[in-house]
Amino acid sequence: MERVVLITGGTGALGGAVAAAFLEAGDRVVVTYRKEREYASLRESAAERSEKLSGVTADVTDPARVTSLVAGVVEAHGRVDVLALVAGGFAGGVPVAETSDDVWDRMISLNLTSAFICARAVMPGMLERGYGRIVTVASKGAVTPSPGAAAYAASKAGLIALTQALAAEGGARNVTANAVLPSVMDTPANRKAMPGADTSSWVMPGRVASVIAFLASPAADAVNGAAVPVYGARG
């Protein structure tokens, strides 16, 4: 059955891999994006599957914009079956005592508030239909925080709690919510930010995307409220 999948941040390294996984499964995919060239690249890589791909420019930290976004997807496709919350950001390298209000607020907004706003927008429709799958992207750093990344770790830990609350509220109506917790992912941005790092234990975005796709699949219908580590074999 073709599902309607909404992916926030669907054109980045991980978001693009997640979009590809759902397109390969035969789903209709809507991605949010901020950079037109990234969306164009995603469409090109989707090749013949691009007919099932659409994109919307959106700031997913803006409640009014998210309400409009979800209403547009429902108007065009009738529903949202799967919500993959990939959009987020990272800031680190500064201890708590030196962390600015701006950095703290930005991490909470990008990684936690955006997920709350999007989940709040899709939950009523999912509950009414008696079906929905929500998958969030937390982080290994949420359970084992690194020095200098308190704001990021706190935002991702809050995301796990939000995911589990959604699971508790939706489970009885066949609306599940689960989180994946990647370690460092092997992306161009991370390689640029950490040029001297040992990348042998980093996780490829495609591996994380596969877990996200699984958690939204019929094979995972009995999984709800999980926080799934995706650390790689050497993680």
Please, where are the H alpha helices in 171-200? 188-193
* Neighbour count for residue 145 (Cβ, 10 Å): 16
pLDDT in tens, 5-64: 999 999 999 999 999 999 999 999 999 999 999 999 999 999 999 999 999 999 999 999
Rounded to an integer, what distance in angstroms lies between the CA atom of residue 130 and that of residue 49? 28
The pLDDT assigned to 1 comes to 78
User: Looking at the predicted structure, is the pLDDT value of residue 140 above 70?
Assistant: yes
Percent of the chain exceeding pLDDT 70 equals 99
- Distances in Å between the Cα of 157 and the Cα atoms of 66, 143, 185, 222 are 23, 7, 18, 23
Tell me the pTM: 0.95
Please tell me which residue in 33, 39, 140, 152 is annotated as part of the active site. Answer: 152
Determine what percent of the chain is predicted with pLDDT higher than 90.
87
- Assess whether pLDDT exceeds 70 at residue 235: no
Mean pLDDT of 157-177: 98
Q: Catalytic: 152?
A: yes
For residue 148, the 8-state DSSP code is T
Which of these, 181, 153, 139, 156, lies nearest to 94 by C-alpha position?
153
Parallel, antiparallel or unpaired: strands 28-33 and 4-8: parallel
Question: What's the CA gap between 191 and 194, in Å, rounded?
Answer: 5
Which residue among the candidates 39, 156, 192, 231 is catalytic per the annotation?
156
Domains detected in the chain: 4-230 (3.40.50.720)
Tens digit of each residue's pLDDT (9 = 90 or more) over 66-99: 999 999 999 999 999 999 999 999 998 899 999 9
What three-state secondary structure class fits 214? helix
> How many Cα atoms sit within 13 Å of 191 on the Cβ side?
10
Of 11, 46, 54, give the one whose Cα is nearest residue 25.
Answer: 46
- To which residue do tokens 């941005």 refer? 189
